[in-house]
Structure 1
């Protein structure tokens, strides 16, 4: 059976965060035992003064010296991991007892599927019929196929992309990962029976609070025209979106690149995607 490395990011500076970490670890361990797989847990702790102690088997705590950055800290976790699969996870998740059974079953029966995400029934916007009639659904759309708060990636993913782009400190990190997968023709899917509950907004790794600010000069016009208030009210999210477009191109350019990549992939020439989906 394969081994899974659960890589969890946290800033444990209060009891409620510690309790959330413990619930995350506990529910994961129960699911690993049910799935009869080997596992390890790597807690990437951004609170350098954390004094909390854990009574958790196979747990290693790593406290980087650097300031927190989502992709940087995940890369640190991956560099210390010793497993075939990496589970890149927020700490504000609760794993269903059968989620890893379902995930592992899909992965073992579909060896070309190297990256998957679980389903949070309360948050996913895919059609109910599609979720009920498929064990997994291939795709790269954020919050539909790909959930940035929990991704299971085979080590071959990192052999291809080398590492996550550390310029993405938090926002649009999942969008960048989705583009990387498509660039290297790596299949990703939502596993519809792998249930993980995301306790939205309770994670300690991001900060959504902003005072009023002036929109950056490079703010994409489309988010203003289409009134993307959830982005327009968050300076860091806007900065993440600007970085995303600086790297991959305008929305129109990205659409063209993905159309061309999808076309050649259907012809069995997906290896050409890396020359089509270019970035800065």
Structure 2
């Protein structure tokens, strides 16, 4: 009997409205419908920031309402620490998973023993960046190119090298820091163009006030620069 592969899926949600709640529901629905459960088992943890939804549980998930202040990496670390499968996938809630995305993203990990990190392709975004679907593996560390910050897939063993995610990042630049960390530690990362997960782009962020958006975005850049420029010099920090 073939062994079933288990993948821990960590999803951050902020269901301030019924529409945003539905975004998370649709995300999980597409995930669960994407693979044969006899082949791949998804262990879904949703970290929900809308505290008054408690004790609501999204279907096919363990839904957590943390008493800690919001931080993108802080909440992802909570989900990582709750789980134990050999593969971890960190996800925005505004995603739609296509059929066999996980089967496809697992293939290079099975072929290349030294591969530790990957991202799926977005059929909406990546063709605009000159990436064709089903055009092979793309090695690289560029944000919104090879590194899809909305969906990061890696072997759990990678964390023994990188340590946990840097919780100084509240929202923006978390993916820049992830990419920089992989680069400096010489950890391979690929975009898997046969694994398709569509990103619906900032469904939660655009519902925040300008002040909150500023706190979650531009202010993060200063910390990124403070952390990486002394190590790598001006112009090195991966911002695009």
Q: Shorter-chain TM-score category?
A: 0.7 to 0.9
Which of these residues, 54, 59, 62, is aligned with residue 60 of structure 1? 62
Counterpart for residue 8 of structure 2: 5
Which runs of structure 2 are paired with 1:72-87 in the superposition (5 Å)? 72-87=74-89
Q: Indicate conservation of the 8 Å contact 1:93/1:197, yes or no.
A: yes
Which runs of structure 2 are paired with 1:108-127 in the superposition (5 Å)? 108-124=110-126, 125-127=128-130
Which has the larger helix fraction? Answer: 1
> 1:111 deviation in Å?
2.2
For normalisation by structure 2, the TM-score amounts to 0.87
CA deviations on 1:175-216 (whole Å, 9 max, x unpaired) are 001011112221111000111111112136x766426xxxxx
Q: How many angstroms apart in 2 are the aligned matches of 1:45 and 1:143?
A: 25
Which runs of structure 2 are paired with 1:24-103 in the superposition (5 Å)? 24-33=27-36, 36-51=39-54, 53-54=56-57, 56-57=59-60, 59-103=61-105
Structure 1 residue runs without a partner (length 5+) = 212-232, 259-280
Which one has the largest radius of gyration? 1
Counterpart for residue 147 of structure 2: 146
Q: Indicate conservation of the 8 Å contact 2:141/2:189, yes or no.
A: yes
> 1:24 deviation in Å?
0.8
Which runs of structure 2 are paired with 1:108-187 in the superposition (5 Å)? 108-124=110-126, 125-128=128-131, 131=132, 134-187=135-188
C-alpha RMSD of matched pairs (Å): 2.6
> 1:9 deviation in Å?
0.4
Q: How many angstroms apart in 2 are the aligned matches of 1:195 and 1:30?
A: 14
Q: How many angstroms apart in 2 are the aligned matches of 1:244 and 1:134?
A: 32
Q: Indicate conservation of the 8 Å contact 2:169/2:220, yes or no.
A: yes
Q: Structure 1 residues 2-11 or 34-43, which shifts more?
A: 34-43
CA deviations on 1:8-29 (whole Å, 9 max, x unpaired) are 0011232112211111111111
For normalisation by structure 1, the TM-score amounts to 0.75
Q: How many angstroms apart in 1 are the aligned matches of 2:183 and 2:124?
A: 27
Partner secondary structure for residue 158 of structure 2: helix
Work out the number of aligned pairs and report it: 233
Q: Indicate conservation of the 8 Å contact 1:90/1:203, yes or no.
A: no
Q: How many angstroms apart in 2 are the aligned matches of 1:209 and 1:63?
A: 22
Which runs of structure 2 are paired with 1:261-272 in the superposition (5 Å)? none
> 1:141 deviation in Å?
0.2
Q: Indicate conservation of the 8 Å contact 1:245/1:251, yes or no.
A: no
Partner secondary structure for residue 82 of structure 1: coil
